[in-house]
Structure 1
Amino acid sequence: MSSFDRNFQPTSSCFGFVTSQQSSNDATSWKKREGTGTIDGMLSEALKDLTFEERQQQQEILHGVQGQMREEENMVQNTLQDLDKYLNNTKRGTYYETAESMNPDYVRARAFRIMFLRGNRYDAKAAAQQMLKFFEQKHKIFGDEKLVKDITLDDLDEDDIACLKTGASQLLGRDSANRQILLQVPSLRAFANHQNELRALYYILMTASRSQETQIRGCAAILYTVGDHKDAKKGVGYLDNMRLTMSLPLYMAGNHVCGDRDTAESFLWSVAVKMLPAKRRARLRMHFGSHTECQYLLSTYGIPSQMLPFRPGTYMVNLETHHNWCQSYLLMEKQKSGHVPSPLAVTQINANDVLYVDRKKNNNMGNQRLRALIKEFSSQYDAGSNETKKLMVDALLGEIRKAGGRFLKQQANCTSERQLVWEELSLEEARAKVTQLFRNNRRRPEASRDRIHGGFIISDFPRPNDVVFGKGARSPGSELLQRLIKNRSHEYDSLDRGMKKDLVDSILHQIKEQGGRFLQPTEVFGEFLAVTDDMARARISKYFRNNRRSINKTAGQSISSTTR
């Protein structure tokens, strides 16, 4: 009942790099590709096999600057029909056929099939081949009884959970293109039996695959073997890991392999690279060097070093976030029943996300941007028909998504700031939130920007030397002003009124001589009011007065505690 190619040759890669040489997509047969040479040479050779347009497309995918995948309903429906045809022609004697006879609704579910189509960029033939391999691998790992069941943590035994918690494979946050980051650190590999690792890996990757955002944008995978992070198991089980990974509907938009150039791993990687089709090679990057060098190279592909769970200096792996992720899923799945899949837990947010915490107002950049869009289009929304309003709501959702934002709500079981876990809202929930914002904006009297007198509006973001007024504003210019206020406060308090004005003027000119401006945020996201010199003088004088009050208050508290 095997759907694997009998001529399959092993390679040492836990990403499942190997794909069909007969398809330009990331399909699923593993025939060995011919070719020799260095890794750099093979990657360069791959580009020669592609047209200019194909090279450009793969580079855009790798760097996360390609347009969003189009999913027109007619195209989706036609591809689903093609998928059915391929499956009907090839399913005989496979575990797919077994699963279909056990629970046809599970196997034929539209969302389930679209997951495989997205994972193969709507190549119906490649998706059909992958579905056959998916059920074969699932049967091999979990057996008949779980073949038509969404796998949860309850389906894993103690050794599986222990393997999951090692962090050898873990989901981080998202890169700058909002793609899910998958990190694999071979030095952390540990298991009682290799089946434990396979079940843990299946759970992690299928959890990522359930997110529609990840299905559409793909995954950025990192294999990190720098320094002491060489494989603890010396390559044992890589072949089975690869087979499993290639059977799962997770689109690898970018593969990054980090390591030392003069290692056995680099030779094994070259074997894996040879087996890649040209398009997949074009999305693979090898990074050789120290921890600092490799992490810098990753940052040039939109994966900042702050996203990686390595402790500064020692480069040991900090597993706190990963363990929080495991615990959040354990708690979340206990609250679920039936076959409804759990939503994807999010432990790391980005600036473009729209966040909901109870009924509190949130000032994350994504929330500010959404409020600005609501205000900008509120008059058109109020004047439109019901159909127009629905289209406008969807358009705003699209704007947030284009910027890499998600609509997230804090999970109810979060009890501390250190263990915040978020849950992505469904499409209907997000629509309801945006619709309510439009209604609230209509009811709330619009704060008039005409009340701002003097100055002029700028639409560019602050420069480093600008002073940005407002609570929580931080910039080098603002910090310079605070230091000047603190250092010259005694001098200011000792001067008469006229001399105080001269001191304030000298500080104002010192800021402006360094190219700084004095800015006040407006209610519109991304807009600032460049205040007049008189307004800036008034603010600086107020800061001096506030600083004096703060000093007096601190001194009073010190005297009080001494007399006690």
Structure 2
Amino acid sequence: MWDEFQWDDSMWDDFSLIEEEFTDNDSTLDEDESKSAEIFSGRVPHNASDPESADSLIASQLAKMSVADREKVYMDVHGIPDDCIAETPELIDNSLLRLQREINILPDKKAYSIAERINPKYAQDRDFRLAFLRCEKFDCHKAALRLVRHFHMKLDLFGQDKLTKDITQDDLDMDDMECLYISNGRFLNAYDKAGRVINVVVQVPKTYRTDTCLRKAFYNFMTVCRDVEKQRRGFVAVSIHQDEIKGGSSDNADLIWKLPKLNEGVPLCLSAIHLCYTDKAWEGLLAVIKTALSKPNQVRCRVHRGSILECFEELRGHGIDPSCIPVNNKGEITDLVKDRKRIEQQRRNERLKYPTPSSIAVPFCEDVLLGKGTPFQIHHGNKKLQQFVADRFKKYERAQKGAKKAVAHEIVEAVRSNGGLFLKQDGNRWVPVTDDVALLKVGALFRYLRLKSGKK
């Protein structure tokens, strides 16, 4: 969880003074900003798939920009480094106070209000709020809007029970986890020339429900944005679309319409988005992406058409080294095994950092599953437990009666120190068992080995 942030009386005194610095114009909301709760609502507009309409929309946004703003966009899109804001204690303290004022005057913050009522420490956490301020370059109004949208989005995707907790893999269902493991949408351990982390999305044959893809993407965003430097610099997106469109066009359009909107509620700034495609059949759906982007992000969109190699060569001119993108010239993901290990390590770290969940949908490979039959015996965590028991069998046999429990407890701790849990099935969920039940499981394996060795 993010570090706790609470208000004291002296800070409220400062806040009242800062309030006087604002004019009515500071709190004026435009039409888009006033609809903070409408992130995923509404259908795809009938003209969203029209390439000419999308390009006209972007041209209109560019025409409204000042020369300085257009130059900034050009630098961001081409990976030209930009200095980050110097974060002084005074800037941070004043910005946190102003952020609260901006939250207070937003008209639609139902999900945020629920979160604050359930767990005020979470909703007011200092580092959590700083992430949104960094994302918006300490523009307190925009940060407040993004933070409120974040809770509405989280409520839509995960429900009220998970509204005030950090989302981990244990919060994902079976489809979410399957979608996560195909590795087609993720943040790479790679950066462009401006030091911004690269997010890559690759079209894959299997299609998933829109809500599944959004939960998986939300999890990825919120995992990577815990890094302060990433909060400061933001990210660049590379979306790769191949020859054949998989799934129904309406399903694709629904996902493509909603996925860009995810960025409006996470504390990570999009600096540029590159759409790479090889076939004209994709032009309509790519127009939907461009239309779905927020106004500031529409002008940061660049389209590259051609073979994978041709598109990658154009990316090089935008500050992105193609060699870091794990996709071959056929559009195939090349590091699935390596990325699976990354995801597993990520889950292991989450298990060691966060409290044990009351139940989970998909067991971890390091978990020990209680039950009978081949599926339990061949599970990786069960086989690993058997090896732990075999390695300590002689020590267990030599131990006095009172010391045998200590050996069993040592094995239970070995499983848990690697991120594993002892789980029993409860309907379609898995529930952690008590220490006593875990010790009984270990003891039963020692007795089995004794019988197998011919000892009584």
TM-score bracket relative to the smaller structure? 0.5 to 0.7
Tell me what 2:220 maps to.
204
What is the one-letter code of the residue matched to 2:207? A
Preserved contact between residue 73 and residue 299 of structure 2 (Cα < 8 Å) = yes
2:328 matched to 1:295? no
* Structure 1 residue matching 2:253: 3-state secondary structure: coil
Q: 1:117 aligns with which of 118, 128, 133?
A: 133
The alignment yields a C-alpha RMSD, in angstroms, of 3.2
Which residue is equivalent to 1:317? 333
Gaps of 5+ in 2: 1-34, 357-416, 419-456
Note if 1:241 corresponds to 2:256.
no
1:317-349, Cα deviation, whole Å (9 max, x unpaired): 12233212211112222322449xxxxxxxxxx
Structure 2 distance, partners of 1:162, 1:144, is 24
Deviation at 1:259, TM superposition (A): 1.1
Q: Is contact 1:49–1:278 with CA below 8 Å preserved after alignment?
A: no
8 Å contact from structure 1 (residues 141, 198) kept in 2: yes
Instruction: Give the C-alpha shift of residue 136 in structure 1.
Output: 1.4
**Cα deviations by residue, 1:490-527 (Å, 9 ceiling, x for unpaired):** xxxxxxxxxxxxxxxxxxxxxxxxxxxxxxxxxxxxxx
- CA distance in structure 2 between the partners assigned to 1:151 and 1:6 by the alignment: 19
Deviation at 1:201, TM superposition (A): 1.3
| Post-superposition offset of 1:40 | 5.7
Task: Find the partner of 1:69 among 85, 103, 117.
Answer: 85
Call closer, same or farther: CA 1:40–1:207 in 2, change over 3 Å: same
Distance 1:47 1:150, change over 3 A: same
Partner SS state of residue 200, structure 2: strand
Q: Tell me which residue corresponds to 2:396.
A: none
- Report the CA distance between 1:273 and its aligned residue: 3.3
User: Which of 1 and 2 has greater Rg?
Assistant: 1
Distance 1:274 1:106 in 2: 34
Report if aligned partners of 2:261, 2:293 keep a CA contact under 8 Å in 1: no
- Cα distance, 1:115 vs structure 2: 0.8
Q: What does residue range 115-194 of structure 1 map to in structure 2 within 5 Å?
A: 115-172=131-188, 173-188=190-205, 190-191=207-208, 193-194=209-210
Partner of 1:4: 37
SS of aligned partner of 1:215: helix
Q: RCO higher in 1 or 2 (8 Å CA, sep ≥ 6)?
A: 2
- The CA deviation at 1:237 is 3.0
Q: Compared with structure 1, are the counterparts of its residues 77 and 310 closer, same or farther at alpha carbon in structure 2 (3 Å cutoff)?
A: same
Tell me which residue corresponds to 1:270. Answer: 287
Secondary structure class of the residue paired with 1:196: helix
CA, structure 1 residues 146+289, in 2 after alignment: closer, same or farther (shift >3 Å)? Answer: same
Q: Which amino acid aligns with 1:325?
A: R
TM-superposition CA deviations, 1:226-274 (whole Å, max 9, x none): 33476785334334434433221210011111113622x3234335435
Counterpart of 2:71? 56
Equivalent residues in 2 for 1:196-235 (5 A)? 196-228=212-244, 234-235=252-253
In the alignment, does 2:361 pair up with 1:336?
A: no
- Aligned counterparts of 2:105 and 2:163: Cα–Cα separation in 1: 21
Match of 1:81 in 2: 97
Contact kept in structure 1, 2:109 and 2:148, CA below 8 Å: no
- Matched with 2:277 is 259
Q: How far apart in 2 are the matches of 1:147 and 1:277?
A: 24
Judged with a 3 Å threshold, the aligned counterparts in structure 2 of structure 1 residues 95 and 228 are, in CA distance, closer, same or farther, namely same
Once residues 295 and 149 of structure 2 are traced to their aligned partners in structure 1, the CA distance between those partners, rounded to angstroms, is: 22
2:157 aligned counterpart, secondary structure: helix
Q: What is the distance in 1 between the residues matched to 2:337 and 2:233?
A: 27
In the alignment, the residues of structure 2 paired with residue 209 and residue 7 of structure 1 have an alpha-carbon distance, to the nearest angstrom, of 21
Alpha-carbon distance in 1 for matches of 2:354, 2:223: 17
Change (3 A) 1:220 1:323: same
Shift of 1:3: 4.0
TM value normalised by structure 1: 0.51
Whole-Å separation in 2 of the counterparts to 1:104 and 1:139: 16
Give yes or no for contact 1:166–1:190 (8 Å, CA) kept in 2.
no
SS at match of 1:187: coil
Partner of 2:268: 250
Give the TM-score normalised by structure 2: 0.62
Q: For residues 263 and 247 of structure 2, what CA distance do their matches in structure 1 show? A: 18
Please give the alpha-carbon distance, in whole angstroms, between the structure 2 residues aligned to 1:7 and 1:201.
14
CA contact (8 A) 2:168 2:350 kept: yes
Q: Secondary structure at the match of 2:297?
A: helix
Aligned CA distance change for structure 1 residues 279 and 314 (closer, same or farther; 3 Å): closer
The residue aligned with 1:435 is none
Q: Note if contact 1:227-1:291 (Cα within 8 Å) is conserved in structure 2.
A: no
C-alpha distance in 2, partners of 1:187/1:218?
Answer: 26
SS of the residue 1:303 aligns to: coil
Conservation of the 8 A alpha-carbon contact between 2:256 and 2:288: no
Amino acid at match of 2:73: Q
Using the TM superposition, give the Cα deviation of residue 44 of structure 1 relative to its aligned residue in structure 2, in angstroms. Answer: 4.8
Displacement of 1:65 in angstroms is 2.0
Change over 3 Å in CA distance of 1:287–1:131 after alignment to 2: same
For residues 207 and 125 of structure 2, what CA distance do their matches in structure 1 show? 36
